[in-house]
Each structure stands twice: as C-alpha cells, then as structure tokens.
Amino acid sequence: MPNHEAAKRALDVINNLGGSAEEFRAKWLALHAFSSEFEGNNQRKVLLRSIEQAIPNDEAGEIIDKLEAEIEYLSKNPVGNLELHDTHPDFYQHAKQDITQAQLSNRSPSNRLGHIICVVYQVRCNVEHGRKKLGTERSQKLFSISNEVLDLVMPILTRVSDAA
C-alpha cells in the first residue's frame, strides 16, 4: 500500500527531523553551497575536489586525527545506499571505498578528508532519496558523526571563502 508507506515516511520526518537530523540538514546545505562553486557533474568528485582545493593538508590531517573514532565506526559499520536493497551487491560500495581511501596514509590528508565528506554525502543522499528512517539509533549515530565532521570542516571552508 503506497499510501500507508508514504504516510509512515511523512510521520517519521515530522516526528524526528528535529535535533541532530535538522542540524545535519542545515550544515549539509552550507557545505553544498560551498561545493556548488566547483565545476562538475558528479557530486562525489566535486566534493572531493572542493575539499582538496580548499583545506590545506596540515589542517586536513588535524581533522582526520580528531575523527579517528568516527572513522573506525564507519569502517566497521559502513553506510549503505538506501536507494538499493540491502542485499544488492553495491549496497555498501561507495562508503566502503571512501572509508578505505580515508584510511590510506599514502594519500594526501586533504584527499582523505574529501573521502570522509563523501561518506557524509551518502548519509545526506539516504535522507533525501533513500527513505532513511530518521529516528533510529543508527540514524542518530550517523547524524552525530556527520555533524562532527561538518563542525570541523565548515569553519575552514568559510574562512577560505572569505579570504578569496
């Protein structure tokens, strides 16, 4: 029954959009506004490029160090693509690739941080397109991690954009 499922989804949003979910949406909009100034059709590549170009490696490395526990959590509990069924072979593809890249010490810290931002992007996509249930403990944990990442990144991005 599509009406029943649609009503349940709407109620989930109404009942759970406050708090960390709403905070996440607001912070994501700010990041999106920043990255939209960079050219490209593939949002993941645009996000990577914008982070690599805007955040110096020393600051990116400091952020990655601060996110060690969050990166470990995401490595053990990858974000799925909720546009796909959880049995689909590509369900975890992007998040697993991005977390793997973020953990490679031979990559520049800015590139590694860009890959972490891509995991946050998957959380955003799941909210917007994937019928993510906002009120679950897992959703709240992902919003909390995403907010932590964005709290560390956005002051640098807005400083860089003010300086230009």
In tens, the pLDDT along 58-90 reads 999 999 999 999 999 999 999 988 888 888 888
The CA-based angle 102-107-109, given to 5 degrees, is 70
Q: How many domains does the chain have?
A: 1
Cα 129 to the chain's mean position, in Å?
A: 14
- With H, G, I as helix, E, B as strand and everything else as coil, classify residue 36: coil
Domain of residue 132, residue span: 2-163
Which pTM was predicted? 0.85
Give just the sign of the alpha carbon dihedral 52, 60, 117, 64: positive
Residues in the chain, pLDDT under 50: 164
